[in-house]
Amino acid sequence: MAFTPDGASLFAVTKTGSILHWSVHTGALRQKIAAGALVRGRIFALSGGRLLYHTSAGIPRIARQEGGAPIRDLGDLRRDGILAVDRAEELAATFTLKLIRLADGKPRGAIKESGRTLLAIAHDAVALSARGLLAAGGWADGTLRVFSVASAQRLAMLRPHAGLVTSVAFSPDGRLLATGGQDGAVHVWEVDRLLAGGPPGR
């Protein structure tokens, strides 16, 4: 599900691959969009009246919120998928921590360690900071890793959870980073403290 940036509308993908669009203020269903190709996975409501979703063929697509007309496709991600978009809507991060430019779908690079592309095992456990400067990923072994988007250098790694990290999120201003785990714990860090090796703030 995804709210529009102004909070006025909510979008969701149905089991049959259509998109539902509700008014948040009235609760009324505004439209049911048959997007021309079945939709799967996450959906993002972008500024400018646009949606970002994956077709059933694994193609990330930007389309219009009203009517669902396609604007552009962003390449073939059948073995991957977009899990996060930065607040400026310039970059998207995928399940394997590849970075894609939303303007044209071209690769911006990939986060790697020891020459191998990293796989963030946990569904939804990838996040980009507000200005797209940092990428964070959670792993099945309970580790959280934070990287510089510009250099792909790992800036921090720690194990806050006993088991799978199930979710990772930056606050809108980029100052806080939260993780949730299969162990039922939620941790929140001040990003500056985390990068300096400090404990979670709460």
- Summarised one tens digit per residue, pLDDT across range 69-98 is 999 988 877 777 787 887 788 888 887 778
| Topology of the domain comprising 80-202 | Methylamine Dehydrogenase; Chain H (2.130.10)
**In the predicted model, is pLDDT for residue 115 greater than 60?**
no
Location of structure tokens 């959870």: 161
CA 111, CA 9: separation in Å to the nearest integer? 33
Judge whether residue 112 has pLDDT over 70: no
Q: Give the percent of the chain with pLDDT over 90.
A: 10
106 burial level (CB within 10 Å; 0-12, 13-18, 19+): exposed
Whole-number pLDDT of residue 35: 62
Would you list the domain boundaries of the chain?
Answer: 1-78, 80-202
For residue 7, pLDDT beyond 90: no
Q: What are phi and psi of 158, to 5 degrees?
A: -150, 170
The fold of the 1-78 domain, in CATH, is Thrombin, subunit H (2.40.10)
